[in-house]
Structure 1
Amino acid sequence: MARAQGISPALLGRWLRQALEAAVPYSTERDEIKRLRAELKRVEMERDISKKL
């Protein structure tokens, strides 16, 4: 596929790795996102409970 486009397979592989690194958050970012989602869920539940009271 790469050769059909006139580029080396190694260059295509490097571009692919760079694109994946840019698209996928690092593990610390994933952990923070997970923590923030859990906190948001907790706060929304607290809000909903206080609305019912």
Structure 2
Amino acid sequence: MVVSGIPNRNEDHSEQIASMALEILHFCLQFKMRHMPTIPLRLRCGIHTGL
């Protein structure tokens, strides 16, 4: 779980969180598990803006 805009309010927090989620998903495409190198790491990201 990730939170943005705490303790200081940040007006572009939703953009920063979305960008971070895309970077994590991109990293997971390249990641290889040592004990299962042929099995891809699957990850899903959900974003709640509080609106």
**TM-score w.r.t. length of structure 1:** 0.40
Query: Rg larger in 1 or in 2?
Result: 1
Higher percent of residues as helix: 1
Which structure would you say has the larger RCO, counting Cα contacts within 8 Å and 6 or more residues apart? 2
TM-score calculated relative to the size of structure 2:
0.41
